[in-house]
Structure 1
Amino acid sequence: MAALHRAVELADRGAGTVLPNPVVGCVLLDPDGRTVGEGWHQRAGGPHAEVVALAAAGEAARGATAVVTLEPCNHTGRTGPCRQALLDAGVTRVLVAVRDPWPTAGGGIAALRAAGVTVLDLPELAAGGDPAAVSVVSAAEEVNRVWLAAVRRGRPWVTLKAGITLDGRVAAADGTSRWITSPPSRADVHVLRAAVDTIMAGVGTVLADDPLLTVRDDAGRPSVRQPLRVVVDSTGRTPAAARVRDTGESAAGAATWIATAQEVGAGADGRVDLVGLLTELGRRDRRHVLLEGGPTLAAAALDAGLVDEMWLYVAPIALGAGPSVLQGGRVGTLTQAHRGELIDVARFGPDVRLRYRFETTSLGDPVGPPGPGVSDSMI
């Protein structure tokens, strides 16, 4: 299974550049098990991983085994079907780590088998308890988690990001928050921003901080590719001069959507229906939302079962007062607490980045009635 783990490594190179498409890696092995070609999907509209690997292999692809992280596509979009490319190249065996859940592109396994190609469907082996299959299927699912979750659920993967103090504050009592975290942490945030296709913030954050919400380099220059900026603004309070509305040179043409309750729909509290908003983003082919603030919006998304991952940049300072990373949530007792799984710990300068994974729901069912003192100032 070493070739499949290598294919997963290759797939990961496309993270952040292929959206709204999946990341995919492919390794071609000759009959003696030697690698004759490798490839990964590098950008939406570009050659798929199988086509890149086949080009690298040339004639050595005839009689080879293709090891792929995702079922070869079976349709013609901006590129032709990878199923046909494999057949034309003379590949005789294919190992598939994950089946394609998108009905439009699915069916590659069946089509290859119908054409006489031997296909090893690893999810079948994993379902039977084969430990090696379970390992590679899990790795292939993880590297492609954003796209797979978005397609299966009909809404984007949501990453909640916050820079906090040791006591969980995102600002001081007087509202100052620049800068809680260090330059290395802020640089890593821009790496994260570059890997998503949507950045979301509440109108309270826009009113308090007037953020630009763009991807920038260390010198402050905007990147060529910019995510869609979404402001969750129930009543349309975003100022006309707000920097998040800037689509000029300083924002590299980044687009902005001011999402109001009138346009998206409102929940029982009269605020923007977050489930409806994410569903609409899914319809617009948005796969990965980075939720940047504020505390009320973050708590509402967590309560609605919409947060898949939480990235916390913890600075070695304590305030003792000021707004917390989550405010106005619905959890009223410990048994209702949202429990995450620690995925990764990394250090950036004096700060520590903690990554947690959460179990989410497709419908965003709330955990209970609103708690006392819920404010709508952030949404």
Structure 2
Amino acid sequence: MAETEVPELPVARPDGCPFDPPAAYTALRADEPLARVRCPGGMDAWLVTRFGDVRAVLADRAMSSRGANSAHVNQSDLDAPVPPGSIIQLDGDDHARLRRMVVAEFTVRRVEAMRGYVQRLVEEHLDALLATPGPVDLVEGFALPIPSLVICELLGVPYADRERFQRQSTVLVSTDTTAEQGQAAFGELSGYLAALFAGKREHPQDDLISRLIARGAATGDELTMPELVMLGLSLLVAGHETTANMIALSTLALLDHPGGREVVLADAERAVEELLRYLSVVQFGVLRHATEDTRVGDREVKAGEWLVAALSSANRDEQVFAAADALDFDRETPRRHIAFGFGAHQCLGQQLARVELQESLTRLFRRIPDLRLAVPRESVRYKDNTLVYGVRELPVTWG
């Protein structure tokens, strides 16, 4: 690609290959691993496509995450201050303070303690599916409600309100959303959470937000209501959108690769790691802003320039993963992927997502070994216009 050519993001996926990232990424990794691209958000950026370079960008403290709300694909005010409590956008001490407060809620031990709850949810939803005559939509009946219930339980959000926050989160993750629509959805969801969290200050319960409020009161480092709301909103949206799409898309991938079902049943942990690498559902990458002159690979990046770390490209880097475009459950280092990001902003909830994926896929194929699509394969529709890739519906049947 000539350096003067400025392609536009997002780059289309190849026809007939719904699980693969854009084919252009392969050429860019080989010939121009940092390429200038024009973004719908209104800026030009360096598109970073190689695994090592993406990791380096995400680990570099000179790279600000202030645009990490996907400002490169949404209409955003690039000069707007970062909202208080935005754990994905804050840097340095402000980010470290929030992360320290929340990280205790996502330790391996605490997440493992939730496994039994996740197992019960999965079994209850499988009971309901098996009691339903005729084809069912696996997204609506299984993939979406399980992570929604888990994150509601964790945050103390009434599950009865799920339609309200799911509707607004759908607006927030769509790349077709206008600035006005995004602000309206953000305002409605923020108002809802502010009222809910105010009640938790008066009447604490056994949930993450109540514990944060109590911990802040005990240490003298209390989160303000705007901080609590923004933090809660980030966890709520991220906590169900990514995992729900991974469950449904992984199921479709396993329907396409029937041999993988036996791997899921025999070694769910290994299978899930390969699915995370292969699918990489954060499809438009992660945005960073250089705060000082730095170097990425053999390229000089100037202070003030933007970079898009393409996670899906990095996870298909042939120099790191042999036969990178193949779904291979026998990889020696299945956890080497960066589907959850890397560095200081690596996904807080990754252990919880792993548990949900392991339990959902294992129990799904154990209970329904003859699961199959109820529609022609080519009729499945994909979320090409959302920050998190997935399928819109997944009609399935069995028996």
Give the TM bin, normalised by the shorter chain: under 0.3
Alignment TM-score, normalising by the size of structure 1: 0.24
Please state which structure has a larger fraction of its residues in helix: 2
Which of 1 and 2 has higher RCO (CA within 8 Å, sep 6+)? Answer: 2
Structure possessing the higher radius of gyration over alpha carbons: 1
Which of the two has greater strand per residue?
Answer: 1
Taking structure 2 as the reference length, what is the TM-score of the superposition?
0.23
